[in-house]
């Protein structure tokens, strides 16, 4: 068996591969559902209905889509540069931390400036958290995967310390919780959802334009494709890595601001809700294409919300719903492998003769 790089795959081939992956996912998941004692058609229809069947359910799906979209854009910028940013969780938490500090402790600000300053500080704090591994990568060629991953746990413990320690609300009498944001620090509503519904598509357009039409975006692409080419062109690679990660972490920080001020209305250790890790999947499924991120994140929101719905509607255990979601995602990600590569089988004798 030989694995060969697929060169110049046509759109028709890509569509066929992905359709096959969808069929395999439905069949494999259907077998699993039957083993649980349920009707696959009933489960699939309930997942779609649970995600799109009413205004309330659609809003819940959009609330999943918004943080996934913005975090995916942050991860995408880093991945374009071949920088494995696995630290989205920590950057989200630190962005939420910055926004919380503004909302609760900068009461001297005029009320109309609080939300803009929250976004600015959240972006900077999330960006600075991502710049830490970027500096080590640029100066010492440190492994960014390990560093960004470890920083997630530092961020979680920092927020936990604040929640159980100095920022604990004394009025709650023993309950470990940070005080809720004042009303003027909560995000305004649009169509029954917070303003992140507008921010997410605006950022999609901005990042798509930034990567395709600007010098900085071109530099990110060149560094990602070939460091030797970037050096030959006289690019300052260290500066590009650091500034790119400032943008990447800053976008994840904006997610933290939105989740803290638009959903949780306070800061908790669970404010990131796993979006930093999930966004890695949606980024890969979008093919590192900013314009596709919104669509992929919406489909993923349907999957998450639908999976949550069938737990209550059909009494399917959470672990079984997670397995079902995982099977669907495995097939979707597997299709990307076959888009990039093809498998060729040949007889052992013919292979040995080629070696001779």
**Ordered per-residue pLDDT tens for the chain, 356 residues:** 788 877 777 778 878 888 888 888 888 888 988 998 888 899 889 989 999 988 999 999 999 999 999 999 999 999 999 999 999 999 999 999 999 999 999 988 999 999 999 999 999 999 999 999 999 999 988 999 999 999 999 999 999 999 998 999 888 777 889 999 999 999 999 988 999 999 999 999 999 999 999 999 999 999 999 888 898 889 999 999 999 999 999 999 999 999 999 999 999 988 988 899 989 988 988 888 999 999 999 988 998 898 888 888 888 888 888 888 788 878 877 887 887 788 888 776 554 444 44
pLDDT confidence of residue 186: 95
Distance CA 219, CA 146 (A): 25
Structurally, the chain folds into a number of domains equal to 1
Cβ atoms of 293 and 71 within 8 Å: the answer is no
pLDDT confidence of residue 119: 97
Residue 201 in domain: yes
Distance CA 32, CA 36 (A): 6
Residue 306 in domain: no
Residue 355 in domain: no
Residue 28 in domain: no
pLDDT confidence of residue 22: 83
pLDDT tens digits, one per residue of 162-178 = 999 899 988 877 788 99
With a CB cutoff of 8 Å and minimum separation 6, the contacts of 176 are 163, 164, 168
Residue 335 in domain: no
Residue 205 in domain: yes
Residues 247-272 as b/e (b if ≥16 CB within 10 A, e otherwise) read bbbbbbbbbbbbbbbbbbbbbbbebb
**Sign of the alpha-carbon torsion through 275, 276, 282, 288:** positive
Residue range of the domain that includes 78: 65-298
**Sign of the alpha-carbon torsion through 281, 286, 289, 293:** negative
pLDDT confidence of residue 352: 45
Residue 325 in domain: no
Distance CA 51, CA 42 (A): 14
Residue 13 in domain: no
pLDDT tens digits, one per residue of 221-247 = 999 998 888 988 899 999 999 999 999
Whole-Å CA distances, 305 to 56, 70, 263, 299: 11, 18, 16, 10
């Amino acid at each position: 068996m030989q694995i060969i790089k697929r060169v110049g795959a046509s759109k028709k081939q890509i569509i066929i591969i992905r359709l096959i992956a969808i069929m395999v996912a439905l069949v494999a998941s259907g077998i699993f559902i039957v083993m649980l004692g349920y009707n696959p058609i009933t489960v699939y229809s309930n997942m779609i209905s649970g995600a799109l069947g009413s205004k309330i359910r659609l809003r819940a799906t959009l609330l999943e889509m918004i943080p996934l979209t913005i975090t995916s854009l942050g991860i995408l910028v880093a991945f374009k540069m071949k920088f494995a940013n696995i630290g989205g969780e920590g950057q989200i938490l630190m962005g939420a931390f910055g926004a919380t500090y503004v909302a609760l402790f900068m009461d001297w600000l005029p009320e109309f400036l609080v939300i803009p300053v929250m976004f600015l500080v959240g972006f900077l704090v999330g960006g600075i958290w991502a710049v830490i591994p970027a500096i080590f990568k640029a100066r010492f060629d440190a492994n960014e995967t390990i560093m960004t991953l470890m920083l997630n746990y530092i961020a979680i413990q920092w927020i936990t310390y604040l929640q159980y320690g100095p920022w604990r609300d004394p009025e709650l009498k023993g309950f470990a919780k940070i005080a809720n944001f004042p009303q003027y620090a909560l995000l305004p509503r649009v169509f029954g959802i917070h303003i992140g519904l507008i921010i997410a598509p605006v950022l999609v357009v901005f990042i798509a334009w930034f990567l395709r039409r600007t010098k900085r975006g071109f530099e990110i692409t060149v560094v990602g494709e070939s460091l030797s080419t970037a050096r030959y062109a006289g690019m300052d690679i260290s500066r590009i890595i650091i500034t790119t990660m400032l943008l990447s972490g800053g976008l994840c920080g904006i997610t933290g601001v939105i989740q803290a001020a638009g959903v949780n209305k306070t800061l908790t250790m669970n404010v990131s809700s796993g979006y930093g890790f999930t966004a890695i999947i949606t980024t890969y499924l979008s093919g590192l294409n900013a314009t596709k991120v919104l669509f992929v994140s919406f489909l993923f929101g349907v999957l998450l919300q639908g999976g949550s719905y069938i737990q209550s509607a059909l009494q399917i255990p959470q672990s079984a719903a997670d397995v079902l979601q995982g099977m669907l995602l495995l097939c979707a990600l597997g299709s990307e492998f076959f888009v990039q590569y093809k498998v060729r089988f040949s007889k052992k004798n013919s292979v040995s003769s080629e070696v001779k």
